[in-house]
Amino acid sequence: MRVALITGAEMAKPDPESHLLIHELGILGISSELISWRASLDWSLFDLVVIRTPWDYFLHLEEFLSWVENVEQVTKVLNSSRILRWNSHKKYLKELSSFGVPTVPTLWVNKNQQCDDLIDSTEWPIVVVKPAVSIGAIGALKGQSKDNHVKQHLEEEVRKGDVMIQPFLESVADFGELSLIYFNGAYSHSILKKPQQGDYRVQDAYGGTNALYEPEIEAQKIGDQVLSYLPDFSLYARVDLVKYQNQWLLMELEAIEPELFLPIAPQASIRLAAAIKFHLDK
């Protein structure tokens, strides 16, 4: 059995997680390799294509999604193009909210929409402005809602695409973000991501730290609820929650190329390898 682990065009080398997964798949008798989604290959030679770290996909969104759909014509891809397309634009948060999932309050701004007084209308003293299609806080800006720099950033981003405006939640800086990771729809482990002091971004690139965390029952209930609304079966998913007024809220659902924190969580790479084998054995 042969599996392709898909990465980005300029990063076809082991990331902090892939070598662990490749090792565990090997123990199960499964050959796997990290390959760029832009590689010219006969994808039918693989029994399964797993989307893992194509962190450049949002720069070429339609091209990437078309590539996935084409590969699906010759072999199985996980997560499926149906999930990837649905998850590629943050408007899925609006849909999940309509289903009753508690989400971070959001003002949605369409591409090229007039932005006059939009931020002021929210009455949020501090806001975060970010693109609706992006990863890893790229294009995000936090600032005072009345700051002209923030309004200028909104105007620049809305010329490029749809934008989200959200209130800045102090709990992100004080407590962090909680990530719940699922394999084949089953809960695997949780990570608490904390930003560097003075920052709000929890990603490693901005000095954030990660640690194992035992989630409260209420947090896991929301994670399970979110998973139940995915439009297709998911091999992997990460549910990011934040606390607001003692309530857990959905910040983001990552079902395209999430960091899964395999090096931190004991047995997690084993569980993911077993989840992949499940699909190969079907």
Per-residue pLDDT tens over the stretch 55-99: 888 889 999 999 999 999 999 999 999 999 999 999 999 999 999
Which amino acid is residue 36, in one-letter code? Answer: S
Burial class (CB in 10 A: 0-12, 13-18, 19+), 191: buried
Q: Label residues 72-102 b or e (16+ Cβ within 10 Å = b).
A: eeebebbbbbebbbbbbbbebbeebbeeebe
Band (pLDDT 50/70/90 cuts) for residue 184 is very high
Average pLDDT, rounded, for the chain = 90
Return contacts of 107-114, CB within 8 angstroms, 24+ apart.
107/164, 107/165, 107/166, 108/132, 108/162, 108/163, 108/164, 109/154, 109/158, 109/162, 109/163, 109/164, 109/165, 110/158, 110/162, 111/158, 111/159, 111/160, 111/161, 111/162, 111/163, 112/158, 112/159, 113/158
245 Cβ partners below 8 Å, 6+ apart? none
Per-residue pLDDT tens over the stretch 34-45: 999 999 999 999
The structural domains of the chain, ordered by start, are: 2-81+277-281 (3.40.50.20), 92-102+171-259 (3.30.470.20), 107-168 (3.30.1490.20)
68 Cβ partners below 8 Å, 6+ apart? 37, 51, 77, 81, 84
How many C-beta atoms surround the C-beta of residue 53 within 10 A? 22
pLDDT value at 29 more than 80: yes
Band (pLDDT 50/70/90 cuts) for residue 190 is very high
Q: At 121, is the secondary structure helix, strand, or coil?
A: helix
Per-residue pLDDT tens over the stretch 155-172: 788 888 899 899 988 888
